[in-house]
């Protein structure tokens, strides 16, 4: 890939990965629930899942999904339903003292989350259609490079969201601030889903 194309794609990936959306709300909520270190698997899983989604979209999965309106509609509404359920769970979570087990969304859950995330699909399909250009590389290699570059951009962005959630962790032991944080995260997640499925 030419250097200018790599640079343009990395800028796109950083903007897509750092802006608020379902994944970042999930990562911040995980940081608030279990702290930065225990939440690392969530941030890593989200970045790997998104890199794989972009790789598969660039290989043709994105075109296949777009070619079948029923599949697109099913993916859109199934993903929205799952994310709205998750928003409800986050909003209804109690303070840290009530959730002493500090359950984290682990690597596999965060990676699979990307495949139900409408924003993830929008990003992957638009990136694949925009940044796939004629190249001497094989389609497999080109798609793999795009997926790897997205991972390299997304992981540090996820760490920022994880850190934000972890910074608020000490406040989340108080019922009032925990309730405010959880409801805010739940509303933010629900709003991001509703904006994407209009």
Domain ranges of the chain: 3-196
In sequence order, the 6+-apart residues with CB closer than 8 A to the CB of 12 are 127, 130, 131
* The pLDDT of residue 125 is above 70: yes
Query: What is the pLDDT of the chain when averaged over all its residues?
Result: 82
Q: Residue 95's closest CA among 24, 182, 37, 185?
A: 182
**Least-confidence region, from 88-97, 118-127, 170-179:** 88-97
């Amino acid at each position: 890939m030419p250097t200018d194309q790599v640079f343009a794609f990395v800028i796109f990936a950083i903007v897509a990965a750092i802006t608020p959306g379902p994944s970042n709300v999930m990562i911040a909520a995980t940081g608030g629930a279990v702290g930065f270190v225990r939440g690392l698997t969530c941030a890593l899983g989200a970045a790997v899942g998104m890199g794989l989604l972009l790789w598969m979209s660039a290989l043709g999965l994105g075109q296949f999904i777009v070619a079948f309106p029923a599949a697109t509609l099913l993916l859109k509404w199934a993903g929205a339903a799952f994310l709205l359920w998750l928003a409800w769970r986050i909003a209804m979570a109690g303070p840290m003292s009530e959730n002493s087990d500090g359950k984290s969304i682990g690597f596999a859950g965060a990676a699979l989350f990307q495949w139900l995330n409408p924003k993830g699909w929008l990003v992957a399909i638009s990136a694949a259609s925009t940044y796939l250009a004629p190249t001497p590389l094989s389609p497999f290699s080109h798609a793999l490079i795009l997926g790897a570059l997205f991972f390299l951009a997304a992981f540090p962005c996820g760490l920022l969201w994880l850190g934000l959630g972890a910074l608020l962790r000490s406040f989340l032991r108080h019922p009032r601030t925990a309730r405010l944080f959880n409801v805010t995260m739940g509303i933010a997640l629900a709003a991001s889903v509703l904006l994407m499925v209009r």
